[in-house]
Amino acid sequence: MNIILGIIFALSISTVNAHPVFKTLVRKEGSIKTRIENKEMLHLASSHSFDGKYFKIVLKKSNEAITFNHQDPNLLLKAATVYYHLNKSRDFWVNQMKLSHLNEFPKIIVRLELTNQFDEFGHFANDNRSPQFNNALSIPEGETPEWVPEDRKDSWNKEIWFRPVKNIPTKELGDLGPNPLTVSLMALENPLIDYIQNQFNVRLIEEFFYPSYVSRPLHEDLIRYAGTYAMMKLILHGSKYADRLFLDKYYYLDTALVPEIAYHEYAHIVLSDHLEMSHSTPVNEGMADYFAAIQADTRKIYAKVPGHSNARSKDTQEKKKYVHWDESNRMATADFTLSVLWDVREALGAEIGDKVVFHARNFLNTKSSNISEGLLRAILLACELKCEVPRRDKLILYETFTWKGF
């Protein structure tokens, strides 16, 4: 008996020892609450660094994996968190979405704390060309052209980049304080103001969620779009997008410590056989959000992570109806497309819904697909091939789209 117990004990020790364990940031199952847990790092190819079979986690422009004995505990937490969630995401695609070809995918380099912009002809843009913070992105494979001097030559596979976090003081976003005009404006109920407010909200979402996509400071856009009127409208009625911006002194988004951002970025890579990663559109971002949301298994994704992100979450059940400016690339960071795709899932059921949405990418491309024609058409075409009873299910989908205001 003792011998058997001894063997069981020895086995349990060896399985524990087989995979290094690291502090990892996770969400509590089915909840947006986060906590730090000890997690096993699976599929490692190295015994001393975050170099795995499928992902290699590096610092900035380095090609060497971050070692387990790195002195910065915060960097180790980020490395373990992205390593864990990317492998979990890969498992989802291989096992649940049945994409066994991902086993043959070349290893993906994952860069932490990198501020350089992506340059399709040179990998990293010049260090001082508008450094990036508070966002993440996936880049396509590439190589430097023939004419590039030998010492600058480079070639790379698909990569995922997480930018450093930076506290941006909200006061830098312009003077949004009360104004004596408020009272007289209260009498106005002008559709023009609604339009202006919507434009302003769009701009705020961008500023808040992916500030680095924004080329101009917010106050310049404010003046450009609407000036005082939009500010007044916001002060009068408030805005769900603006509330937190007014309450918090700073905003910040440490993308490496928001689990769904890892799922979102890996989804871009999987979907890139049809949706190339050249730029952000409402359609390609909505598709990546959809698969991030399935893996997150919560109604809201990208929710606040205390101390690491106060960015706005996206809601799979956003009830907003379609308006033409949802098509603007400015809306790529909003949750409207996600909510349209989520309605498809609710209408067809999770299993068929996921198949249909995934298959829809065959009829989409990043350059020209919009929501109202491209995406809806792609969903219906995919339903023709993947739905149980296409004639019936396409009618259900038409009805769903009508509810969304199409």
Interface with Zn ion by CB under 5 A: which residues? 285, 288
Residue 394 beta carbon to Zn ion: minimum distance, rounded to whole angstroms: 29
Residue 267 beta carbon to Zn ion: minimum distance, rounded to whole angstroms: 8
Q: Which is nearer to Zn ion, 213 or 322 (CB)?
A: 213
Residue 285 beta carbon to Zn ion: minimum distance, rounded to whole angstroms: 5
Q: Which is nearer to Zn ion, 20 or 374 (CB)?
A: 374
HSE-CB for 330 with a 13 A CA cutoff: 17
Q: Which is nearer to Zn ion, 51 or 265 (CB)?
A: 265
3-state secondary structure of 8: helix
Q: Which is nearer to Zn ion, 197 or 309 (CB)?
A: 309
If one counts every other C-beta atom within 10 angstroms of the C-beta of residue 220, the result is: 11
Question: Beta strand pairing status for 159-162 and 108-112?
Answer: parallel
Residue 318 beta carbon to Zn ion: minimum distance, rounded to whole angstroms: 17
Write out 346-386 in H/E/C secondary structure: HHHCHHHHHHHHHHHHHHCCCCCCCHHHHHHHHHHHHHHHH
Burial class (CB in 10 A: 0-12, 13-18, 19+), 289: buried
Tell me the one-letter amino acid at 148: V
Residue 288 beta carbon to Zn ion: minimum distance, rounded to whole angstroms: 5
Q: Which is nearer to Zn ion, 275 or 288 (CB)?
A: 288
CA distance linking residue 123 with residue 169, whole number of Å: 31
The C-alpha angle 74, 293, 346, rounded to 5 degrees, equals 165
Residue 391 β-bridge partners: none
DSSP assignment of 73-137: HHHHHHHHHHHHHHHHHHHIIIIIS--GGGGGSPPEEEEES--PPEETTTEE--TTSS---S-EE
Q: Which is nearer to Zn ion, 285 or 315 (CB)?
A: 285
Residue 280 beta carbon to Zn ion: minimum distance, rounded to whole angstroms: 6
Q: Which is nearer to Zn ion, 79 or 261 (CB)?
A: 261
Structure tokens at 143: 């190589």
DSSP 8-state symbol, 211 = G
Residue 332 beta carbon to Zn ion: minimum distance, rounded to whole angstroms: 8
Contact 32, 303 (CB under 8 A): yes
Residue 168 β-bridge partners: 251
Residue 137 beta carbon to Zn ion: minimum distance, rounded to whole angstroms: 7
Tell me the one-letter amino acid at 377: R
Q: Which is nearer to Zn ion, 207 or 285 (CB)?
A: 285
